Amino acid sequence: MAHVVWFKRDLRIADHQALSEAACHGPIVPLYILEPELWQQPDLSHRHYCFLNDSLAELNAQLIEHYGIPLVVRCGNASDILQALHDEHSIEALWSHQETWNDWTYRRDRSVQRWARQQNIPWHQPRQFAVVRGRHNRDGWSRQWQALMNQVCLDAPQALQSVVTTSESMPSASELKLHPTHLEATQPGGRCHALALLESFLHTRGEYYSSEMSSPVTAFDSCSRLSAHIAFGTLSLREIVAACQQRSLAVKGQPRGKKGKWPAALRSFNSRLHWHCHFIQKIEDAPRIEFENFHTAYDSLREKTPDSDRFEAWKNGRTGYPMIDACMRALSATGWINFRMRAMLMSFASYHLWLDWKAPALHLARLFTDYEPGIHYSQCQMQSGTTGINTIRAYNPIKQSMDHDPEGQFIRKWIPELADYSAQSIHQPWVLPHKLNGYPMPIVDEKLARKQAMQRIYALRRGDGFFNEAQAIVKQHGSRKTVRSHSKAAKSASAQTEINFND
Ligand SMILES: Cc1cc2nc3c(=O)[nH]c(=O)nc-3n(C[C@H](O)[C@H](O)[C@H](O)COP(=O)(O)OP(=O)(O)OC[C@H]3O[C@@H](n4cnc5c(N)ncnc54)[C@H](O)[C@@H]3O)c2cc1C
C-alpha cells in the first residue's frame, strides 16, 4: 500500500503540507508527472521547462539527502500514470496541493478526480495559497489570507518511508518540441536560488523597493525576483510572508535613524503577496477569463485576429517607441520585466495598436518565466480595459521613458541601434531620423492612437447595461477594500477624468 505525493507547482520539501501529512500515514511515492500534452499548450515555453528542470533536480537532491529516496518521475497522462502506480503498489491515498492554474490543468484535475472516485481513492488537496475553492463570498477574503499565512511553516518531515518503484528520465526540451526562441539568459530555478534571493532582497537589495520598483533601470535588482519561484513553489508563499514579518519586526526594533527605507519597502512587498492570491482567486472563480473578456460589452470591440504587422512589430521590439522596444527585448532575453513595464507593454498593444488582448497575452505568457495564469490574464485584461471595473490606464511610452529611464541607459543597453543618441533625443529618436541606424520610425502616432482608443472605449462604457454588468463583476471579483472605488469607477464610466493620460 502506498501514499502517492504528487508534486505539482510546489517543488520543495519544507512547508509542504501534502508531503508532511502523507508522511504520517505510511510509505510514500514522491511523484512528479511530466505531462507532454501540457507542454504542447500555447502558453508554455522552453524557459518554463528549463526552470522546471532546475527545480526538479534540486527537489530530487533534497529527497535523496534527507531521506535517501529519489523523486519518481513518470511521463504521460496523469490518470494513466496513477492507474499504473495503483496496479503496481495499490494506492491508499493521493496527496497534492490544490492547484489553480490554466484551463488545461483544470480539466486534467477533473479527470483525475473522476478516476480517484472510481477507484475509491481519497485525494487530499490542502491549500498552499489563500485561494478558496467552491462557492464563496469575497467578504472576509483578506482575513482568511491572513489566517492561512499566519500558520507556522512546516519543517520538512523528519523521516519518510518509501516504496521502491521505477522512475523515468525527463524528456529533453527538444523532444517536447520546446525550442529557445531568443537569446536566453533566463533565471535559474531551484530552492537554493530562491532562498538566496529572499535573503538578499530582505536584507540588502530591497531597501529602496518602493521608489525603485517602477524603473527598469533599478527594478531588476530592487524587486524581489521571487515570482518564478512562487510560481513553481520552490519556496512557499507562507515562508516568504513569515520571513517578511520577521524582518519587519527586526527593523521596527532598530533606532529611528537606522530603519532607512525598510518599513515602507516591507509594507509594499507584503501587500503584493496578498495580491498574488487575490488575482488567482479570480481565475478560480471564473476560469473563462483565460479566454473571454471579464465584461461582455468588450466582446466585439477589437478584431479577434490581430493585425499581423502591428503584432509582429510589438513582439520583435520594433514599434519605433524605444521604451516599448527596449522592454520587449529585455523581457525576451531575460524572462522578466517589472510590473509597470509589463503594464505599459500590454496597454500599448491594446490601446495604441488596438490589438485584442488574447494574442499579446499568450506571447507574454511564453516570455514570462513566472507565468501564473490567474495573475496574468487578470492583469492583461486590466491593462486592456476589458474588466469593465478598473480605471482605464493608457500609458504614454514617451513619458514612461523620460520618467523611468531619464538618461536612456536601459534603452541603449537593449537597443544598440540607438547607442549614439543623447539623453535628450533618445526618448523620441525620430526627431533625428538620419541617426536611426535601422531602427524603425514610430508604427503609430502616439497621441492620436491613444485618443482614438479612449474615445472608442468610453463610447462603449456609456452603453445600456454596462453599469449593471460592471457591478456584478465588482461583486464577484472586487477587493472589498476597494469595492467603493470600483463601484464609483463603474458608475462614472463615461467621465473623462477617469482616463489617466499622465501615465
Ligand atoms: C500584464 C501583466 C502580466 C503579469 N503577469 C504575471 C504573471 O504571469 N506572473 C506573476 O507572478 N506576476 C505577473 N504580473 C504581476 C507582476 O508584474 C509580477 O508579479 C512581478 O513583476 C514579479 O516580479 P517580483 O517577483 O520581483 O515582484 P515583487 O515586486 O518583488 O513582488 C513580490 C511578489 O508579489 C506578487 N505580485 C507582485 N505584483 C503583483 C501584482 N501586480 N499582481 C499580483 N501579484 C503580484 C508576485 O507573486 C511577486 O513575486 C503581471 C503584471 C502585468 C501588468
Count of structural domains, the chain: 3
At residue 467 the predicted structure's pLDDT band, cuts being 50, 70 and 90, is confident
Each residue's pLDDT tens digit, 322-334 = 999 999 999 999 9
| Shortest-distance Cα residue to atom 3 of ligand 1 | 376
For residue 254, what are the contacts with CB-CB under 8 A and spacing of at least 6?
A: none
The single residue listed with the C-alpha cell 469595492 is 483
Measured distance CA(246)–CA(477) in Å, rounded:
31
Measured distance CA(185)–CA(220) in Å, rounded:
13
User: Which parts of 286-427 fold into alpha helices (H)?
Assistant: 308-315, 322-334, 339-347, 358-367, 373-384, 397-404, 409-414
* Atom from ligand 1 closest to the CA of residue 225: 26
Residues 402, 486, single domain; the answer is: yes
Strand, coil or helix: what is 389? coil
At residue 390 the predicted structure's pLDDT band, cuts being 50, 70 and 90, is confident
Query: Which of 375, 384, 477, 503 to mutate for ligand 1's pocket (most ligand atoms within 8 Å of CB)?
Result: 375
Measured distance CA(277)–CA(144) in Å, rounded:
11
pLDDT score at 135: 66
Residues 327, 246, single domain; the answer is: no
At residue 471 the predicted structure's pLDDT band, cuts being 50, 70 and 90, is confident
Q: Is pLDDT at 358 greater than 90 in this prediction? A: yes
Q: Which of 284, 310, 344 is the last residue of a domain?
A: 284
Ligand 1 centroid–CA 339 distance in Å is 6
Measured distance CA(491)–CA(131) in Å, rounded:
29
pLDDT score at 481: 62
Q: Note whether residue 80 is domain-resident.
A: yes
Residues 350, 207, single domain; the answer is: no
Q: Are 89 and 1 in contact (CB under 8 A)?
A: yes
pLDDT score at 133: 94
Each residue's pLDDT tens digit, 129-161 = 999 998 667 888 999 999 999 999 999 999 999
Measured distance CA(76)–CA(82) in Å, rounded:
10
Q: Is pLDDT at 486 greater than 60 in this prediction? A: no
Strand, coil or helix: what is 437? coil
Q: Note whether residue 170 is domain-resident.
A: no
Q: Beta strands 72-75 and 91-95: pairing type?
A: unpaired
The fraction of the chain above a pLDDT of 70, given in percent, is 94
- Containing 405, the helix (H) or strand (E) segment is none
pLDDT score at 501: 32
Q: Is pLDDT at 495 greater than 90 in this prediction? A: no
Ligand 1 centroid–CA 445 distance in Å is 30
Name the least confident of 149-153, 446-450, 476-480, 481-485: 481-485
Residues 267, 299, single domain; the answer is: no
Read off φ and ψ for residue 134, nearest 5 degrees. 85, 180
Residues 271, 196, single domain; the answer is: yes
Residues 220, 295, single domain; the answer is: no
Assigned C-alpha cell, 21: 501529512
Each residue's pLDDT tens digit, 241-293 = 999 999 999 999 999 899 999 999 999 999 999 999 999 999 999 999 999 99
Measured distance CA(43)–CA(207) in Å, rounded:
34
Mean pLDDT of 169-180: 96
Residues 376, 461, single domain; the answer is: yes
| Shortest-distance Cα residue to atom 6 of ligand 1 | 376
Q: Is pLDDT at 484 greater than 60 in this prediction? A: no
Residues 219, 253, single domain; the answer is: yes
Q: Are 388 and 381 in contact (CB under 8 A)?
A: no
Each residue's pLDDT tens digit, 84-132 = 999 999 999 999 999 999 999 999 999 999 999 999 999 999 999 999 9
Q: Is pLDDT at 485 greater than 60 in this prediction? A: no
Each residue's pLDDT tens digit, 207-243 = 999 999 999 999 999 999 999 999 999 999 999 999 9
Domain region containing 364? 288-498
Residues 392, 308, single domain; the answer is: yes
Query: Which of 215, 227, 364 to mutate for ligand 1's pocket (most ligand atoms within 8 Å of CB)?
Result: 227
Q: Note whether residue 321 is domain-resident.
A: yes
Q: How far separated are the first and last CA of the chain, in Å rounded?
A: 60
Q: Note whether residue 162 is domain-resident.
A: no
| Shortest-distance Cα residue to atom 15 of ligand 1 | 339
Measured distance CA(366)–CA(284) in Å, rounded:
21
At residue 185 the predicted structure's pLDDT band, cuts being 50, 70 and 90, is confident
Q: Note whether residue 120 is domain-resident.
A: yes
Residues 12, 63, single domain; the answer is: yes
Taking all residues of the chain, what is their mean pLDDT, rounded to a whole number?
93
Give the DSSP per-residue string, 135-188: S--STTHHHHHHHHHHSPPPPPPS---B------PPPPTTTTT----S---PPP
Pocket lining for ligand 1, CB < 6 angstroms = 213, 223-227, 230-231, 269, 272-273, 275-276, 279, 338-339, 342-343, 346, 368, 370-372, 375-376, 379-380, 383
Query: Which of 129, 272, 274 to mutate for ligand 1's pocket (most ligand atoms within 8 Å of CB)?
Result: 272
Residues 443, 298, single domain; the answer is: yes
At residue 392 the predicted structure's pLDDT band, cuts being 50, 70 and 90, is confident
* Atom from ligand 1 closest to the CA of residue 278: 43
Mean pLDDT of 436-460: 95
pLDDT score at 493: 40
* Atom from ligand 1 closest to the CA of residue 201: 30
* Atom from ligand 1 closest to the CA of residue 206: 30
Assigned C-alpha cell, 104: 488545461
pLDDT score at 184: 67
- Containing 243, the helix (H) or strand (E) segment is helix 237-252
pLDDT score at 300: 85
